[in-house]
Amino acid sequence: MITDVHTHFWVPDHQGSPWTDDLTRVARKHADGSIDEVTLEGYRRQVAPAEQSIVFGLQAQASGIMVPNDAVAAFVRDVGGRTVGFLSVDPTRHDAVAEIERAHHDLGLVGIKLGPIYQGTSPLHPLCLRVFRTAERLGLPVMIHQGAIFTNAGRLSDANPLLLDDVATAFPDLKIVIAHMGHPWIFEAVTVMRRHPNVYADTSAIPNRPTVLANALCAAKEYGVLHKVLFGSDSPMVGTTNAIETLRRVVSHTQKFGITPITDEELHDLLHRPSFDLLGIPAPSSERIISV
């Protein structure tokens, strides 16, 4: 069973400047359609190879995007199948903790999506730490964008995955997924993964950077954490089918030229990782996502 742990939902009404100004900088060679609007039909088509998926929006005032959690929950209901939703909160808002409680208990969202650099803050800021504390208390995994971004919000020094060493130390029971394997800091990401049993990473977006992806997979294997790398696409920026095809090409390249080759069996295990079980996410509906 293929699980795509990293897909997005948003529509134009959720986006403003500077997000909309900078979106043109996003690579589109692996997209299957529009990247600024996610429709029900488009989502089903994009994630069709996955039997399970996680979808979320993003709330980041500093970057000009605010996707309501109610809209994400409604989208999950419309998609049906084996899709679950994560909530998002902007840690700089005074009501962040209350919104986590509401979106989880009332809307049924089962994880949290954060992007501190998009939100103009640091994962070590007290406002972020209260989000991590709440997530640990509620047993909600956190998907965190801790790496480079396409907008000019935040400070790159606050986006290094090494900062998550302090977070994981302070909240040892919190399950964390480092989105995009923390690119460009892939070695820092795998080092943190090696040290902390509840820290994972996903492969989303980096099919647009195949050399980075190859190095990230090889580094994860060398550090003994390849089993903690989860498959993610970054739909709509990267479609699930294109993400899988690129992974296969990159793995083949490591077998031909890499010092540390990724085997076909390791690729199979990555694509079929029981990500929901690893993250403690309850099983959704048994109905498969329907291709359109």
pLDDT at 287 over 60: no
pLDDT at 241 over 80: yes
Rounded-to-integer distance, Cα 176 and Cα 197, Å: 10
Rounded-to-integer distance, Cα 230 and Cα 5, Å: 7
Instruction: List CB contacts of 131: < 8 A, sequence separation 6 or more.
Output: 89, 91, 96, 97, 100, 112, 114, 142
Side chain identity at 154, as an amino acid letter? G
pLDDT tens digits, 186-210: 999 999 999 999 999 999 999 989 9
Rounded-to-integer distance, Cα 24 and Cα 231, Å: 25
Side chain identity at 165, as an amino acid letter? D
pLDDT tens digits, 5-59: 999 999 999 998 887 876 776 656 566 677 889 999 999 999 999 999 999 999 9
Structural domain boundaries in the chain: 3-279
pLDDT, position 174? 98
Domain 3-279 has what CATH class? Answer: alpha beta
Q: What is the percent of the chain where pLDDT is above 90?
A: 84
pLDDT mean over 234-259: 95
The token pair at 249 is: 């090409």
The token pair at 39 is: 């429709």
Least confident span in 66-70, 257-261, 263-267: 257-261
Q: What are phi and psi of 248, to 5 degrees?
A: -65, -40
Calculate ∠ Cα 109-125-159, nearest 5°: 80
Whether pTM > 0.85 for this model: the answer is yes
Rounded-to-integer distance, Cα 235 and Cα 225, Å: 25
Q: What are phi and psi of 177, to 5 degrees?
A: -115, 120
